[in-house]
Structure 1
Amino acid sequence: MAILVFAEIADGAIKKSSLEAIYYGAQVAEKSGTAVTALVIGKADASALAIAGHYGAAKVLHANDPKLETANSMAYAKVLVEAVQSIGAKVIITAKSSLADAVTARAAGTLKAAVVGNVVELPDLSGGFKVKRSIFTGKAFADVNVTSDIKVLAIKKNVVNPVEGSTAATVETFSPALAENLFTAKVTETIKASGTVSLPEADLVVSGGRGMKGPEHWQPLLDLAEALGAATACSKPVSDLDWRPHHEHVGQTGVKVSPNLYIACGISGAIQHLAGVNSSKVIVVINKDPEAPFFKAADYGIVGDVFDVLPKLTKAVKDLN
């Protein structure tokens, strides 16, 4: 039962969530007596890709055709299908993301594979192939028996705690045939989100709501985020008011995050917002209203004015450093 991991890259390096997927795949491989191969598509140095071996991959297939430097779900799906067929993979693993969803859905159609998203545990192989997945925005779990010959598992971010080793993976160039009709859509411009920390990949997130009172009052939140090395986020009303850029909106209709720590500043905690953050390992809520709904979901709560609390937290963080 060969295992293939579709690993995404950013700025020439494998994303943290994809390293988690590789480690997950290595654990599945250990249970089933096989090895893990990672597939990376796009421009990257072999030395950066060899890091996949630290997380359990024996080999990396690198599809580095210049036409693949820009994400293209049609072309990427074709590469994935050929990689699966080339090694005879029966399990495809990826970190759940918008790109991976589009690529694996197309590939699964060709491969007649079953797709299971938001997987949170290793599969139970004792009586077949059963996996546990998160459903209803993390409020419940479902056990799924997967009976198809080829299986696609999309791993929920931050449910795996990888242990890094020191063995490098072998990196091989992978050059599948790419028909021109795969590139009928052209990317004319790419505008990257501002900020030094990618929100979907962040371990720490500091987020603000209407309790921040306006865009001109955001500096205390930014200071705390900088001190922590955290990504910044906001609630939907804040992005709708153009206080913060829309790519920072977290919630049911925005970015869904799964950090180790989520600090909510002046956010009441509407159910739509909770749906995007309730996978966070620890939630800290700062709000001057003791009846704010968010406190019911919080691991820790601070009842107080954010403009009094945030500078004190920032100072405490800096003192620790």
Structure 2
Amino acid sequence: MTSLVIAEHDNQSIKAATLNTVAAAQQIGGDVHVLVAGYNAQAAAAEAAKVPGVAKVLLADAPQLEHGLAENVEATVLAVAKHYSHILAPATAAGKNVAPRIAAKLDVAQISDITAVESPDTFERPIYAGNAIATVQSADPVKVITVRTTAFNGVAPVGGNAAVERLEAAADSGLLQFVSREVTKLDRPELTSARVIVSGGRGLGGGENYTKILEPLADKLNAALGASRAAVDAGFAPNDYQVGQTGKIVAPELYVAVGISGAIQHLAGMKDSKVIVAINKDAEAPIFSVADYGLVEDLFTAVPHLADMV
């Protein structure tokens, strides 16, 4: 029994989500191989080889893989899929783009967003926006899985010494062409990997207040900024700040929810945070049901005072 983890990387280094996915693969049992599909990605492959518990790194290095186009990555994985009992990818935008294509071509059912491994063929995954946990058993010969990275503690990035083996990349599918990428440069930690997140909701009343109220506290805590869907829809914050079922799934050490009522959609994205602090003037707000600490107070008074105390 051998598992293949599809690494998420930027051709220079592997992303933290890969370490979480390797942790899930190790719980399945057997050997763990990691596929680095990219271009001039030798540095990323070397980094993957240092991950403890990884038996082998497969490096598929070709121009058509430089930008991680799903069709080309899928074809490269399919060329070696028969050698693996499990194929895993992080449940990120990239992983959720590639894994379903692989499952469809293999004619197997994808097991999505797993949060626990019970046995090599049985897994847990959230349903109904995280309000219920389904136990899923698969009899498929190859199990294609996406992993909710916040549910697994990532393995250490160093300590291993796996061999790096070259893998021939599949030919360019010719179905699509990479045109451009606009990368948002952040002065703050990345939302999905931040230790602390300060998140704002509709209670802030406007985009100006989002900046004025939340940024001083986030600066003091060296925190990433997040937002509820209602705040994003209202234009208070950009779309890539959204936390929730249709946004980003996060599990920081500290999550500060300011003016967020706690809709199911939002709770699904942050309730696995280690410590949750909620500030809301409505004592009946659902956010208090998941909060470790709650402050029933006007946020326009409480948050500046809290920032002064930090």
TM-score (norm 2): 0.88
Alpha-carbon displacement from aligned partner over 1:201-232 (angstroms, at most 9, x marks no partner): 43432111122232223234123323333321
Alpha-carbon displacement from aligned partner over 1:169-209 (angstroms, at most 9, x marks no partner): 32233222314xx2332232212234243323434321111
Which runs of 5 or more structure 1 residues have no equivalent in the other structure?
none
| 1:150 aligned partner | 142
Question: Is 97-106 or 10-19 further displaced after alignment?
Answer: 10-19
Question: Is 191-200 or 98-107 further displaced after alignment?
Answer: 191-200
Shift of 1:69: 1.5
Cα RMSD after superposing both structures: 2.3
| 1:192 aligned partner | 183
Alpha-carbon displacement from aligned partner over 1:112-167 (angstroms, at most 9, x marks no partner): 33321121222325xxx222222222211122111011111211122112342512
Paired with 1:153 and 1:47, the residues of 2 have a C-alpha distance of 26
| 1:266 aligned partner | 259
How many matched pairs? Answer: 306
8 Å contact 2:11–2:66 — kept in the other structure? no
Paired with 2:148 and 2:279, the residues of 1 have a C-alpha distance of 27
Paired with 1:202 and 1:296, the residues of 2 have a C-alpha distance of 23
Partner of 1:22, secondary structure, is helix
Paired with 1:11 and 1:213, the residues of 2 have a C-alpha distance of 41
Is the alpha carbon distance of 1:271 and 1:161 closer, same or farther for their aligned partners in structure 2, counting shifts above 3 Å?
A: closer
8 Å contact 1:12–1:43 — kept in the other structure? no
1:22 aligns with 2:15: no
Shift of 1:168: 3.0
Paired with 1:185 and 1:312, the residues of 2 have a C-alpha distance of 52
| 2:207 aligned partner | 215
Post-superposition, which runs of at least 4 consecutive aligned residues in structure 1 deviate over 6 A? none
Alpha-carbon displacement from aligned partner over 1:262-296 (angstroms, at most 9, x marks no partner): 21111122233223333334321111222322112
Q: Which amino acid aligns with 1:65?
A: A
Partner of 2:68, secondary structure, is coil
| 1:248 aligned partner | 241
Is the alpha carbon distance of 1:73 and 1:232 closer, same or farther for their aligned partners in structure 2, counting shifts above 3 Å?
A: same
8 Å contact 2:11–2:43 — kept in the other structure? no
TM-score (norm 1): 0.85
| 2:160 aligned partner | 167
Paired with 1:73 and 1:233, the residues of 2 have a C-alpha distance of 28
Partner of 1:166, secondary structure, is coil
8 Å contact 1:75–1:178 — kept in the other structure? yes
1:39 aligns with 2:32: no
1:99 aligns with 2:89: no
Q: Which amino acid aligns with 1:308?
A: T
Q: Which amino acid aligns with 2:246?
A: T
Partner of 1:62, secondary structure, is strand
Is the alpha carbon distance of 1:186 and 1:140 closer, same or farther for their aligned partners in structure 2, counting shifts above 3 Å?
A: same
Percent identity over paired residues = 35
8 Å contact 2:9–2:44 — kept in the other structure? no
Question: Is 94-103 or 301-310 further displaced after alignment?
Answer: 301-310
8 Å contact 1:13–1:44 — kept in the other structure? no
Which runs of 5 or more structure 2 residues have no equivalent in the other structure?
none
